[in-house]
Structure 1
Amino acid sequence: MVQMNNASIPYPAISCRRNIVTTFLTALLLMLSQPVDGNTASKSNENSVIDAADQAFKSLHYEKADSLYNVMIQDGKESAALYWKLARLNISVAEAIPPAEREKRMPWYSKAVDYGRKAVQLDDSNASAHTWLAAALALKADRIGAKEKLNRAAEIKRELDRALELNPNDDVAWSMLGSYNFEVSKIGWFNRFMGGTFVGQMPKGSREEAEKNFKKAISLNPRVIRHYHELALLYIEEDRKQEALNALRMAATKPVLMKSDARRLNEIRRLITRLSKELEGK
């Protein structure tokens, strides 16, 4: 017998408890020492590559990100997430190229459209797939002209509506919807120019809706330069100079998250200088 706090515990009880603890520890060690099965190891490696590619993208190392994403494709690890990230990457590369070099931009936009379509094809329920397909279609059409905008308008709007149906908190989709409504508000001139002979339904959109869309995007993600810049351009179009200046000054305080943000910041600073002088002269 063993004395503990004036109580006697038989040796067999102590031995039994020791055996239970020993058995538990042995089982735990065996589980931890078992090799990871092939599927788990493959999935872990796949996630590591995607994580590394995502980090390269966030660090603005676009070439490295592109190489890593394409490693996944070469290994047959296709997914909607992989393709919408490639669409986003190609858009980012195109947008970083100076607007005057249009011919250099177009191949990147075209690849972004292809990747976006592939993402939607693989998973129609992936909100980001629809967002980045819409962005690719819109940006490509914007660089081609009014007729292409009209041809693409219905598809762009459909993709944005689907993206926001799946994820109402997608700030990129709201920002692109703002751009869509702003651009569509300018298309009326095309129909008038054609004498009302344009065949097809004219898309609908207004500056009022565009303003709401941009403000919604800002409320969801106040760190993105594009949201403020595009809102400011709308205000400038409406001769709302003080509001434009306020939006531009806010944009100038935000971090560079894309390479194209550096280009936007240069334009933003020029606009701030111009509007400040115009307002001071009043």
Structure 2
Amino acid sequence: MRLLRFALLIVWVFVAARVAAQDSIRTDKYPNDCLNEEYSKSLVLKETQKYFEEIDQLIESSKKCDQGYLLYTEVSLKYLELGDNTYNREQRGDSRDKSYYFEKGLEWARKSIQADSTYDIGYEMISTSYAAIVSVSGLRKQSHLADSVRIYAEKALHYGPENDRAIHILGRWHYEVSKLSWFTKFMAGLLFGNKPDGDINKAIDYFKMSVDLDDFPVHRYWLGKAYLEAGKKDKAIKEFEYLQTLPYAQKNDEYFKEEARKLIKKYS
């Protein structure tokens, strides 16, 4: 059981990181006034955490505007937020409820690429949804779906080369898989037919790319973590210290700053 648990360290939740990277909202984020106006209406509901009303608002709004499918990924994100409690220490949810919301997130993400097969954020949200689903699934389902996280993140990057969130996901994939021992990788290949092959240097490269595109605490934090894993303590501490100077712009910024401070204290 312990071996299987370590073999499945390729499973982790990207939802909170994805939510954090989306939390700084612009009302001019869409290509036409109709979409921006309708999306702005949902922000009023967002402030009061009325998720179901916000979802209904977004779905109705998508029917009113050209390129309404662009709002499907917002619907997907709302469902993932409903299922996620990673950074909320007071909230609890059972796996069945989380699984339902994560599956709904995947459903709406898929709708977006059915409407536009080149929509990078649609692929990004599919990747994120798979990561969420895997996190609450049994071993067999985990083994079948885990690599989908990487595959769809790569598709997102193919269509959106500057998608910092997709780049971050790939960094996380390489970070987690690189930590597995050779024996664990061997057993993963034997049991699941897929031997994971992560590279910590690739993880560092991906996190650097995400920082260059959007210098958010979530990106800096994981770059520092990757440096630690690579044995580059001085570089890691430098990233954690710089992270403290970044302005608060997104949900969970304080969480990453707090965790970075703990690591500075531990490794200084």
The two structures have a TM-score, normalised by structure 2, of 0.70
- Are the aligned partners of 2:200 and 2:229 in contact in 1 as well (CA < 8 Å)? no
Which residue number in structure 2 is paired with residue 136 of structure 1?
Answer: 129
Q: Secondary structure at the match of 1:259?
A: coil
Task: Please tell me the residue identity of whatever aligns with 1:268.
Answer: A
Look up the match of 2:163: 170
1:72 equivalent in structure 2: 58
Contact 1:102–1:143 (CA under 8 A) maintained in structure 2: no
Aligned length: 229
Higher relative contact order (CA 8 A, sep 6+): 2
1:229 to 221, 234, 237: 221
Kindly provide the CA deviation profile for residues 207-264 of structure 1, in whole angstroms up to 9, marking residues without a partner as x: 1111100000111111x11111111122222332211111112222223444333322
C-alpha contact 2:118 2:159 (8 A) present in aligned 1: yes
Residue 89 (structure 2) aligns with: 98
Letter of the 1:98 partner, please give it: R
Structure 1: stretches of 5+ with no match in the other structure = 1-42, 277-282
By how many angstroms is 1:154 displaced?
Answer: 3.1
Q: After superposition, where does 1:172-187 map in structure 2 within 5 Å?
A: 172-187=165-180
* Distance (whole Å) between structure 1 residues aligned to residue 244 and residue 141 of structure 2: 32
Corresponding residue number in structure 2 for 1:7: none
2:150 counterpart of 1:157: yes
Structure of greater Rg: 1
* 2:43 equivalent to 1:51: no
Bigger Cα displacement from structure 2, 174-183 vs 149-158: 149-158
Mapping 1:107-256, distance limit 5 Å: 107=99, 108-142=101-135, 150-187=143-180, 188-193=182-187, 197-222=190-215, 224-256=216-248
> CA contact under 8 A between 2:221 and 2:243: conserved in structure 1?
yes
SS of match in other structure, 2:49: helix
Matched AA of 1:88: L
- 1:84–1:62 Cα change, 3 Å: farther
Change (3 A) 1:53 1:249: farther
- The verdict on how the C-alpha distance between 1:88 and 1:184 changes in structure 2, with shifts beyond 3 A counting, is same
- Tell me, in whole angstroms, the C-alpha distance in 1 between the residues paired with 2:229 and 2:138: 19
* Cα separation, partners in 2 of 1:254 and 1:163, compared to 1, 3 Å: same
User: CA offsets per residue over residues 40-81 of structure 1, 9 Å max, x none?
Assistant: xxx966542213335876xxx272576334223246628432
Counterpart contact for 2:73–2:125, Cα < 8 Å: yes
Consecutive unaligned residues of structure 2, counting only runs of 5 or more, are 1-31
Paired amino acid for 2:247: P
Q: Compute the RMSD of aligned alpha carbons.
A: 3.3
Same amino acid, percent of matched pairs: 21
CA deviation after TM superposition for structure 1 residue 129, in Å: 0.8
Contact 1:50 1:68 (8 Å CA) reproduced: no
